[in-house]
Chains A and B, each alone.
Chain A
Amino acid sequence: MAMPLLRGIGLLFTTVFALLKGLRLTLAMFFSRPITIQYPERKREVSPRWRGVHYFERNERGDTRCVACGLCVAICPSQCIRLVAVELDNGERYPEIYEINSVRCIYCGMCAEACPVNAIKLGRNYEFVDYRRENLVLDKERLLANRPEGV
């Protein structure tokens, strides 16, 4: 008779203690600082190796460095790069059309690794949204314009 009663009282105390322990934890959390980053006002620092929206490096003429070799097109796993190459009067190859469909792109960065002249690179911008899918296709001009300052 006495033992089950004692055990019951013991159980009661451990239960109440556990409940109070939970309450203490949440109270401590209540008085701690929130870890939220208030996004549009404050932005998170991205890693130096962050793979964001692509951009083109320029050559000494101020045009794209791309020589239209087609390696990025070949390696792209989601096949989102469209390239039409032409030959200029001085015999250089030049991308007449170079489009990255950024909706299809998985931002793996293989194009940047494959590029023999380091023309295509992945920037650090991740705020890239639009209401129309067509506007998310990056053409040559936009890729050149995407180049961040002072890189």
Chain B
Amino acid sequence: MELAYFLIETVVKVVAVFAVLMLVVAYLTLAERKILGRIQVRYGPNRVGPFGLFQPIADGIKAFFKEDLVPARADKTLFVIAPMISITAAISLFAVIPFGEQIELFGRRISLTIASLDIGLLYVFAVASLGEYGIVLGGWSGYNKYGLMGALRAAAQMISYEVALALSVMGVLMIAGTLNLVEIVRQQAGWHWNILYQPFAFIFYLVCALAEINRTPFDMPEAEAELACGFNIEYSSMKFALFFMAEYAHLVAVCAIATTLFLGGWDGPFNLPPALSWIWFVAKTGILVYFFIWERGTFPRLRYDQIMRFGWKFLLPLTLANIVGTGLYMVLRGM
């Protein structure tokens, strides 16, 4: 009986998170276009519905009815699988993210996390690197030189920055002493947010995250100017839309993880009832998402060699120094 309740609870949580996430991703595309528009002193989409609010629906319908092309010389299996890998990896990240405090419902204690894994952070990094396969295979299987170039760059860039990304959160791990994301949030309760103890790690994390989700100024794999869309060049219709959704889902996931690790998760300036504690989480994630859109409207794309040099010769040593510094601090404080 307990198992049945557990299954029902998990299915309901998965469906709820998936539905909300898809809605957020759909409207994030609109939000990004609107914010970029305002940054460029124009309105952005405002024709479909009031304030352009039906634009994501129109885009979806359009993508759905487009012709689904598969290049004649493409590796058809991988070509079809690649976008699925991308979106699966991006969405799976939300399985371990704690959205809020435990709530009481029907006499059961329900935590607002789909799965409170003890290896939560490890899971995040494992699944996030799985997403790279989608991009690399997608670029390679289309039998297109630009796609191949994009895939190559994606592979090199994401693997390089994954090292620095993992190292940047190592300081948080050392302080927390656990990989469980729910535990990490609990330890930050009451203004003990990790950003106060690890401010540099937070900045490193944001920079590496940008490279990890292929956003400007690190959008090498799909550099429009020289690669004509890069890895997704041969994709059309819903397969392209899947890549697009994966990109935005990944963006939200990266911000949610930053909120969990550095900004105290659902902990807020004043305490909300447990059933509403997710509001703080959503607000902090939203601010980070806004920052990622804002910086996209500000910074131009770096050159490929500059990206690699920055990753290996600047970020990597600094994140290592951050770990050493954290270690020294902990030894001296006798923690």
Contact = CB atoms under 8 A, between A and B. Distances in A.
Interface of A: 19, 22-23, 25-27, 29-36, 38
Contact of A29 (B39, B43, B299): B39
Of B35, B41, B295, B298, chain A has the most CB atoms within 10 Å of the CB of B298
Interface string B33-73: 00101111111000000000000000000000000000000
A36 B44 CA distance: 10
Nearest to B295: A23
Q: State the 7 A-B residue pairs at the shortest beta-carbon distance, nearest first.
A: A26-B298, A36-B42, A22-B298, A26-B39, A30-B38, A34-B42, A30-B39
A27 B38 contact: no
Contacts of B37: 34
B38 A34 contact: yes
B327 interface: no
Contacts, number: 35
Nearest to B46: A38
A34 B297 contact: no
B329 interface: no
Interface in B264-304: 294-295, 297-299
Contact of A36 (B35, B39, B43): B43
Contacts of A23: 294-295, 298
B319 to A, nearest CB: 15
Contacts of A32: 41
Interface residues of B, number: 13
A38 B295 CA distance: 27
12 contacts: A23-B294, A26-B39, A26-B298, A27-B294, A29-B38, A29-B41, A30-B297, A34-B38, A35-B41, A36-B41, A36-B42, A38-B43
A23 B294 CA distance: 8
Given A29-B38, A30-B294, A30-B297, 4 more contacts: A23-B294, A23-B295, A23-B298, A27-B294
A25 B299 CA distance: 11
B294 A29 contact: no
Given A19-B299, A23-B295, A26-B298, A34 B39 contact: no
Nearest to B38: A30
B299 A22 contact: yes
A27 B43 CA distance: 15
A59 to B, nearest CB: 46
A36 to B, nearest CB: 5
B294 A26 contact: yes
A34 B294 contact: no
A13 B228 CA distance: 35
A38 B297 CA distance: 23
Contacts of B295: 23
A20 B120 CA distance: 34
Contacts of A22: 298-299
A38 B52 CA distance: 14
Contacts of A30: 35, 38-39, 294, 297
A30 B297 CA distance: 10
Contacts of A26: 39, 294, 297-298
A34 B41 contact: yes
A33 B41 CA distance: 7
B123 to A, nearest CB: 33
A32 B298 CA distance: 15
B35 to A, nearest CB: 7
B200 to A, nearest CB: 12
B67 to A, nearest CB: 26
A31 B100 CA distance: 32
Interface string B16-40: 0000000000000000000101111
A36 B42 CA distance: 5
A35 to B, nearest CB: 5
Contacts of A31: 38
Of A19, A22, A26, chain B has the most CB atoms within 10 Å of the CB of A26
